[in-house]
Amino acid sequence: MTEPADLDKVSVPEQGARLREPFTMIDLARIDELVLSVFLCQGAMPRHRHLDQDELFLVHSGTISLESEWGTVVLRPGELTVVPKGVGHHSASLLRSRVLLFQPRLMVHRRNGDRRLVALKDEGHLEKVSVPAMGRQLFTPFSPVTLAHVDISALTLTLCAGTGPWRRRDDQSSLVFCYAGNLSIETQEGWMTLDAGELTVIPPGVPYRLSSRRRALVLGVVRHPQPDLST
């Protein structure tokens, strides 16, 4: 079996094991303007806020407490929440917890009028989502559902069972993150297999399809149309 030359496989457990110091970070993949990273949470991070971008936290191992102006959530493996821009927050953990972070980085400060300097305390709350619980509710293969929104992108979850249709996105990259089970990715250049915790990014314009002999859960990212900044 020949692996496609334009696809790189990344293992979250392997990269996460490289982290030794608390709150160090490794970038795993770039999906257009969105960056997926893994960081080691141990101890307490100073409170801070981001004026230009949302942050999506997804716990891979361990348990963290995320305290914010919109309340506190405790996240365990497979649970996620989004801290919107302008909301003061800090993460803490007594354990060595590895956390996936989805964060837009590409020129977000140049979106005119899209900053958020402060957030009112009672304006909203942090919503916790369980990826495994959502996965148990999926019965239709290859029909993605939205888990959360981060900036102009959405994190999706797809049930992979059998062989899916060919897909191609000409205007954006495609994240294929095998969250549970194992699956195969077929392109015109060959095949790649992904086990749980492994991911790849498919460049724009590359046709691909997913298949799995057994039930697998796949995380992906869909970018919404960008706002018109000409005004």
Rounded to an integer, the average pLDDT of 127-146 is 97
Residue with tokens 């990014």: 201
- From the number of C-beta atoms within 10 Å of its C-beta (0-12, 13-18, 19+), residue 171 rates as exposed
Domain 133-223 class?
Answer: mainly beta
Q: Which amino acid is at 41?
A: C
Can you list the positions of beta strands (E) in 151-202? 153-163, 174-180, 182-187, 190-195, 198-202
- 77 has pLDDT over 60: yes
The per-residue pLDDT for range 211-222, each reduced to its tens digit, is 999 999 999 999
Query: Which residues belong to CATH 2.60.120.10 in the chain?
Result: 12-130, 133-223
DSSP H helical ranges for the chain: 12-16, 131-136
Q: Containing H/E element for 132?
A: helix 131-136
Are the C-beta atoms of residues 147 and 175 closer than 8 Å to each other? no
The per-residue pLDDT for range 12-49, each reduced to its tens digit, is 999 999 999 999 999 999 999 999 999 999 999 999 88
Q: Which amino acid is at 126?
A: L
pLDDT of residue 194: 98
- 3 has pLDDT over 90: no
Angle (CA) 54-60-63 rounded to 5° is 90
The per-residue pLDDT for range 51-74, each reduced to its tens digit, is 888 999 999 999 999 999 999 999
Q: Which residues contact 65 (CB under 8 A, 6 or more apart)?
A: 72, 73, 74, 75, 91, 92, 93
pLDDT of residue 4: 82
Read off the pLDDT band of 229 (50, 70, 90). very low
pLDDT of residue 50: 86
Can you list the positions of beta strands (E) in the chain? 10-11, 25-31, 34-44, 55-61, 64-68, 71-75, 79-83, 89-104, 129-130, 145-150, 153-163, 174-180, 182-187, 190-195, 198-202, 209-223
Rounded to an integer, the average pLDDT of 197-201 is 98
pLDDT of residue 105: 82
Mean per-residue pLDDT over the chain, rounded: 91
Radius of gyration for the chain, computed over Cα atoms and rounded to the nearest angstrom? 18
- 135 has pLDDT over 50: yes
At the second CATH level, the architecture of 12-130 is: Sandwich (2.60)
Rounded to an integer, the average pLDDT of 133-162 is 97
- 122 has pLDDT over 60: yes
Instruction: Provide the whole-model pTM.
Output: 0.91
Q: Containing H/E element for 131?
A: helix 131-136
The per-residue pLDDT for range 78-117, each reduced to its tens digit, is 999 999 998 999 999 999 999 999 999 865 555 554 665 5
Hey, which of 108-117, 121-130, 189-198 has the most confident mean pLDDT?
189-198
Q: How far apart are CA 180 and CA 212, in angstroms?
A: 11
Specify which residues 72 forms β-bridges with: 67
pLDDT of residue 54: 93
